[in-house]
Chains A and B, each alone.
Chain A
Amino acid sequence: MTYQEFKDIFYNGLWKQNTGVVQLLGMCPILAVSSSVVNGVSLGLATAVVMALSGAAIAPIRQVVPNEARIPVFILIIAVLVTVIQFAMNAYMYSLYVVLGIFIPLIVTNCIVLARIEAFASKNPALQSALDGLAMGFGLTAVLAVLGGIREIFGHGTLLSGIDLVFGEAAKSWVITVVPNYHGFLLAILPPGAFIVLGLLIAMKNWLNLRAERKVNATITIAVSSQTA
């Protein structure tokens, strides 16, 4: 695997083909759990782990599985991996499991996972597939973190609330109060807030892309005009 390949995979996952703001796959968890940074990042990381593992597990067997049976086999493998993670979280991160509970089994039905398996892991070797899953998952995590952060600041006036669910009681002091004595803004916490903020994020991504494109065009024009001059 070349360095360029490695860079491409991560560039695709984190930015160019970002699942959250470009592919717009897996909207259900994006909108439902992004009410705070901790919730969003936790589910994002769980999805990243599932995607990396399923990529690694499916790529090596891609030639063995007959074409007609590939979807059931892929789903079976993804479901097993998700259930294993669910058991592990239930056993070792119970309070977080209570919060994310119903969304963990839903990772199986999250179309991001199967989409990447179909588009990437069923055509590429194991290492690349695992990295692709990880990169896609991190891209999703980043979107969930930003989305969760914005909604949490507007909705509750805090950041990182609930971090003690992940790191234990000692982490309670890590919670940042951005606006003291904030009375809360309901819209940001409820689903409409998620749609609005996600819309703004997509708009920002497109604006950045357009700006970058214009810059490239401008340099080309300059280069061309200096040549003709």
Chain B
Amino acid sequence: MRRSMAKASVYTALNLMFFAVIGTALLALTYDLTHEPIARSEENEKLKLVTQIVPAAAYDNDIIKDTAQLAPDKLLGNDETTIAYRGRLNDQPSIAVLQVIAPDGYSGKIHFIIAIYRDGRIGGVRVVSHKETPGLGDYIEIAKNNWITGFNDTSLENHKDSDWQVKKDGGAFDYMAGATITPRAMVKAVHKALQYFAQHRDELFAQSPLSSLDKGRLGGVNSNLR
């Protein structure tokens, strides 16, 4: 009796192992077949997002590969190391793309990327992910409204500190009635990002590019929006 029970358990265990081995083999095969197209489409997606805010004329290098590592900073609103993309024209630094977080949106953090020319002018801003109310605060998405393009070409020079607020608070930036917390958070975070860039510009462009290993660990820009 005991013997047949032991036999049954061994059979069950072997059975389970057999299917686990087959399953693992299948997964390994699929991974092997798809990991290249996956890496390629992820790269393309990043490039699409980055090239939306970086004009093609502003760089001639492989901007997605030319990355720098930024330590967490209050001005960037993050507490993790992030990746910045660097555009160069004729081997001269021309533009940088930073990943920034506006921590005080209406429903939590708003993640966005910002392109800043070497002279401190904004090339463009795009929201990457947010949880703002659909239909109210989501006009910061380019798909819903072109409000976000209002940041283009602004800089610390052409907008003094008190301008970096929404018009309702006496600043220079538009907002929409019914949702002022969202644009307030965005304006504040963009202002801080410009300050960060002004302070760290030279070291950002001087840093040697990351190895692809580090990049995988850190994770670059990925949009969660359509």
Which single member of A87, A95, A162, A165 contacts B30 (CB below 8 Å)? A87
Query: Which A residues lie within 8 Å of B133 (CB)?
Result: 186
Give A2 to B31 CA distance when docked, in angstroms.
39
Query: Which A residues lie within 8 Å of B8 (CB)?
Result: 66
Which single member of B12, B37, B41, B135 contacts A184 (CB below 8 Å)? B135
- A189 touching B38 in the complex, CB below 8 Å, given contacts A65-B15, A80-B26, A99-B226: no
Q: Which of B16-24, B53-61, B100-108, B198-206 contacts A (4 or more CB under 8 A)?
A: B16-24
Taking a contact as CB atoms under 8 Å apart, the answer to whether B34 and A88 are in contact is yes
In this complex, which of A65, A66, A83, A189 has the most chain B Cβ atoms within 10 angstroms of its Cβ? A66
Let me know if A72 is at the binding interface, CB within 8 A: yes
Give A186 to B16 CA distance when docked, in angstroms.
48
Taking a contact as CB atoms under 8 Å apart, the answer to whether B41 and A90 are in contact is yes
Query: Which B residues lie within 8 Å of A5 (CB)?
Result: none
Give A91 to B80 CA distance when docked, in angstroms.
28
Give A143 to B15 CA distance when docked, in angstroms.
38
- A76 touching B30 in the complex, CB below 8 Å, given contacts A94-B41, A98-B223: no
Let me know if B119 is at the binding interface, CB within 8 A: no
Give A96 to B148 CA distance when docked, in angstroms.
25
**Within the complex, what minimum Cβ distance (angstroms) separates B153 from chain A?**
28
**Within the complex, what minimum Cβ distance (angstroms) separates B131 from chain A?**
12
Taking a contact as CB atoms under 8 Å apart, the answer to whether B30 and A84 are in contact is yes
Let me know if A64 is at the binding interface, CB within 8 A: yes
Query: In B169-226, which residues have CB < 8 Å from any A CB?
Result: 222-224, 226
Give A72 to B134 CA distance when docked, in angstroms.
41
Q: Chain A, 148-192, contact with B by CB distance < 8 Å: what is the 0/1 string?
A: 000000000000001001000000000000000001101001100
Let me know if B42 is at the binding interface, CB within 8 A: yes
Give A64 to B19 CA distance when docked, in angstroms.
11
Give A190 to B8 CA distance when docked, in angstroms.
51
Give A162 to B143 CA distance when docked, in angstroms.
11
Nearest residue (CB) in B for A61 is: B19
Taking a contact as CB atoms under 8 Å apart, the answer to whether A165 and B38 are in contact is no
- A189 touching B15 in the complex, CB below 8 Å, given contacts A76-B20, A91-B34: no
Let me know if A69 is at the binding interface, CB within 8 A: yes
Query: Which B residues lie within 8 Å of A66 (CB)?
Result: 8, 11-12, 15
Give A210 to B222 CA distance when docked, in angstroms.
50
Taking a contact as CB atoms under 8 Å apart, the answer to whether A72 and B16 are in contact is yes
Query: In B119-145, which residues have CB < 8 Å from any A CB?
Result: 133-136
Taking a contact as CB atoms under 8 Å apart, the answer to whether A91 and B19 are in contact is no
Q: How many residues of A contact B (CB 8 A)?
A: 29
Taking a contact as CB atoms under 8 Å apart, the answer to whether B19 and A73 are in contact is yes
Taking a contact as CB atoms under 8 Å apart, the answer to whether A80 and B23 are in contact is yes
Let me know if B45 is at the binding interface, CB within 8 A: yes
Let me know if B71 is at the binding interface, CB within 8 A: no
Let me know if A3 is at the binding interface, CB within 8 A: no
- A88 touching B30 in the complex, CB below 8 Å, given contacts A64-B15, A66-B8, A94-B42: yes
Which single member of B12, B37, B45, B222 contacts A91 (CB below 8 Å)? B37
Taking a contact as CB atoms under 8 Å apart, the answer to whether B19 and A186 are in contact is no
Query: Which B residues lie within 8 Å of A98 (CB)?
Result: 45, 222-224, 226
Nearest residue (CB) in B for A189 is: B134
Let me know if A201 is at the binding interface, CB within 8 A: no
Query: In A89-105, which residues have CB < 8 Å from any B CB?
Result: 90-92, 94-95, 98-99
Give A189 to B16 CA distance when docked, in angstroms.
44
Taking a contact as CB atoms under 8 Å apart, the answer to whether B134 and A80 are in contact is no
Taking a contact as CB atoms under 8 Å apart, the answer to whether A87 and B34 are in contact is yes
Taking a contact as CB atoms under 8 Å apart, the answer to whether B26 and A189 are in contact is no
Nearest residue (CB) in A for B31 is: A87
Give A163 to B216 CA distance when docked, in angstroms.
31
Please name 28 pairs of A and B residues whose Cβ atoms are closer than 8 Å in the assembled complex, sorted by A. Answer: A66-B11, A68-B12, A69-B15, A69-B16, A73-B16, A73-B19, A76-B16, A76-B19, A76-B20, A76-B23, A79-B23, A83-B27, A83-B30, A87-B30, A87-B33, A88-B30, A88-B34, A91-B34, A91-B37, A91-B38, A94-B41, A94-B42, A94-B44, A98-B223, A99-B226, A186-B133, A186-B134, A189-B134
